[in-house]
Amino acid sequence: MQRAAFLLKVRPELVAEYRARHAAVWPEMLEALRRHGWHNYSLFMRDDGLLFGYVECAESLEASLAGMAGEEVNERWQQAMAPFFEGIGGKPADQGLLRLEEVFHLD
């Protein structure tokens, strides 16, 4: 199991809509995430759109992302969510996230 954390920036004018979309994530998207080793996945967001994500992956974040890349539902989700993000050069969010280094963990 690997713990991973990342940052993204949601456009401030789209923060409310981003929250609404994540209050109703498609069931087939949730199933795909679980199938590819995403566990204990959380997103936290400030009012200005700074987004912090935390996930525990069965193998690694890279393996979990690679698995999701082959899922049609992920392609649809990434396209639907692409307009929400700034500063990632037009990439899908799952390719533009800024990975954070773990510097401490208390078990």
Tens-place pLDDT, residues 51-75: 999 999 999 999 999 999 999 999 9
For residue 55, CA distances in Å to 1, 17, 24, 78, 89 come to 10, 22, 19, 18, 23
92 confidence band (pLDDT: 50, 70, 90): confident
Taking the C-alpha atoms of residue 83 and residue 45, their distance in angstroms, rounded to an integer, is 17
Respond yes or no: is residue 22 known to be catalytic.
yes
Taking the C-alpha atoms of residue 48 and residue 76, their distance in angstroms, rounded to an integer, is 26
Average pLDDT over residues 40-53: 97
Average pLDDT over residues 63-92: 93
- Residue 90, pLDDT above cutoff 90: no
How many CA atoms lie within 13 Å of 69's alpha carbon, on the beta-carbon side? Answer: 9
pTM of the model: 0.91
Which of 22, 36, 39, 105 does the annotation list as catalytic? 22
Amino acid at residue number 30: L
Domain 2-100: top CATH class? alpha beta
Average pLDDT over residues 14-40: 97
